[in-house]
Amino acid sequence: MAKNGKISDAVIRRLPKYYRYLGDLLKNGINRISSNELSRLTGFTASQIRQDLNNFGGFGQQGYGYDAKKLREEISKILGLDHKYKVVIVGAGNIGQAVANYAGFYEEGFEIMALFDKNPKLVGLRIRDLEIMDIDDLKEYLTHHKIDLVVLCTPKEASQGIADIVTSCGVQAIWNFAPTDIKVTDNVAIENVRMNESLYTLVYYYNEKSNNFNN
């Protein structure tokens, strides 16, 4: 896909942002956009944008700009968003339920197949059209169903153990909401959602703007 082999992680992490902004443009009926306009939208420099998109063969045309629809489709293919994914949520507390209830995931091709929890008060309850299953049945379930991605919403003490179970059953992608680092083998992709980091950044800018502690 990439012109020159491996794409850097920093570029990969900007792609979802391009994808989102291009979607917004299309929703607003805009299909042609220059790197300068993309720069204003995304906050990245125009030269960074051109460089990023060049990684994938460069879809811009001199004097025309980018075709938003085509560019978004290409990014979708690069990320793999043109495919469907089967998802299991482990931990059906607030975060697990929030993920299960977020309708957007369905539209984007993520199908939630099952939820698991160990809390007997939650097991048996229904979230959307899914009954929360007992964590003791997780291994059995994963042995009989091909699941692409596990969303890990357990307390941090439980997370490594659950990760070991799901990866031993062949799951190769973990979206980790537990506030701890999980060790997985090299053939497993893992993304940690670290809400604190965004909160701390917010606090920095808050203090800068409010001059709270500087006057």
Q: How far is the CB of 61 from its own copies (least distance, A)?
A: 26
Let me know: does 30 contact 40? Beta carbons within 8 Å. Answer: no
28 binds its own copies (CB under 8 A): no
Rounded (10°) angle between helices 46-54 and 9-27: 110
In terms of Cα–Cα distance, which of 193, 189, 185, 99 is closest to 116? 99
In terms of Cα–Cα distance, which of 138, 137, 178 is closest to 156? 178
Residues 146-165 that bind its own copies (CB under 8 A): 148-149
DSSP state of 212: T
Among 3, 83, 139, 145, binds its own copies (CB under 8 A): 83
95 binds its own copies (CB under 8 A): yes
Strand partners, 116: 90, 133
Among 79, 113, 125, 158, binds its own copies (CB under 8 A): 79
Residue 38's CB is within 10 A of a number of other CB atoms, namely 26
Among 35, 42, 55, 97, binds its own copies (CB under 8 A): 97
Among 29, 126, 144, 204, binds its own copies (CB under 8 A): 204
Let me know: does 137 contact 118? Beta carbons within 8 Å. Answer: no
Residues near its own copies, by CB under 8 A: 12-13, 15-17, 19-20, 24, 78-81, 83, 85, 93-95, 97-99, 101, 104-105, 108, 110, 148-149, 172-175, 179, 181, 186-191, 193-210, 212-213
